[in-house]
């Protein structure tokens, strides 16, 4: 977002692609999804152990209940992360498009400079809302 203030004229999408290419960061959503798969496998194995009398039934059932609670919490966290990311991406893309259209409409107009200042205020406010 700050590239826009520094005079970057490309779109947010192309800037994001460049950043992703040069500055890799961990994919927390993928990590959580992998954890979910591992938890499901652990629950499946524990059920098998209970059926094969490797684990006492009462202890196993209590452990399965706590593991399922943890699993549901992780699933909720993934859903929240995904919806927040999708919402923010849509908001930023819409704001970028609106500001570009306004700048194009008022190009070479006396209002262009105040409009540019206002657009910078909008970007700053959107960043604070994170």
Number of domains in the chain: 1
Residue 20 lies in a domain: no
Write the DSSP symbol of residue 11.
-
Tokens of 61: 């059932």
Whether the per-residue pLDDT at 82 is higher than 70: the answer is: yes
Q: What is the mean pLDDT of residues 7-34?
A: 79
Residue 99 lies in a domain: yes
**Residue bearing the bigger pLDDT, 39 or 3:** 39
- Rounded to the nearest 10 degrees, the angle between the axes of helix 57-105 and helix 112-128 is 170
Q: What is the mean pLDDT of residues 68-91?
A: 86
Q: What is the mean pLDDT of residues 39-48?
A: 95
- Rounded to the nearest 10 degrees, the angle between the axes of helix 12-22 and helix 57-105 is 130
Whether the per-residue pLDDT at 65 is higher than 90: the answer is: yes
pTM: 0.55
Nearest-angstrom CA–CA distance, 105 and 84 = 32
Answer whether 64's CB lies under 8 Å from 47's CB: yes
Residue 81 lies in a domain: yes
Residue 9 lies in a domain: no
**Domain extent for 90:** 27-128
Residue 68 lies in a domain: yes
**Residue bearing the bigger pLDDT, 1 or 128:** 128
**Residue bearing the bigger pLDDT, 108 or 69:** 69
């Amino acid at each position: 977002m700050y590239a826009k203030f520094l005079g970057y004229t490309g779109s947010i999408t192309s800037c994001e692609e460049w950043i992703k290419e040069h500055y890799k960061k961990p994919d927390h959503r993928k990590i959580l999804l992998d954890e979910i798969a591992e938890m499901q496998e652990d629950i499946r194995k524990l059920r098998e152990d209970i059926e094969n009398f490797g684990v006492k039934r009462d202890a196993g059932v209590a452990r399965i209940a706590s593991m399922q609670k943890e699993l549901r919490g992780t699933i909720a966290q993934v859903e929240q992360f995904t919806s927040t990311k999708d919402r923010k991406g849509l908001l930023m893309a819409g704001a970028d498009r609106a500001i570009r259209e306004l700048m194009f409409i008022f190009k070479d107009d006396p209002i262009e400079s105040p409009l540019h200042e206002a657009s910078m205020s909008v970007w700053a406010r959107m960043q604070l809302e994170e």
